[in-house]
Amino acid sequence: MKEEVISILWRVIDNDIPLVNDDITTFLIRDGEITQDDLKLWNDAVKKIKEAYKKIYSDEKEAQSLLSSSLELLNSIKPKKPFPPEMRIRFEELKASISKCLELLKKS
């Protein structure tokens, strides 16, 4: 289970986060659809995901707590307009991956 969580987190860090980050800067910050508060929430969530990846090797409970906190932050991001379809899909996939990691960590 731990190996699967590590694999998912690596994919999130290496692939999903950069794509969503590009979406946020391209679609939303430039157009004013995301506030600076939402941007701060996004950056804090990313930081917690990366910390969780580092902690997973030594402290699974701490990693679980960080992931849970990051998911709360991601869920609290509320753009002024709905995300464009392709961005919404990537953003929801990112949240689903974090949820999957939390499920796996709770089972172990």
- The count of other CB atoms within 10 Å of the CB of residue 78 is 10
Segment holding 71, helix H or strand E? helix 60-75
CA distance linking residue 29 with residue 26, whole number of Å: 7
Contact yes or no for 86/51 (Cβ under 8 A): no
Query: pLDDT by residue for the chain (108 residues), tens digit each?
Result: 789 999 999 999 999 999 999 988 887 777 777 888 888 999 999 999 999 999 999 999 999 999 999 999 999 998 888 888 998 999 999 999 999 999 999 987
Query: Against a cut of 0.85, is the pTM above it?
Result: yes
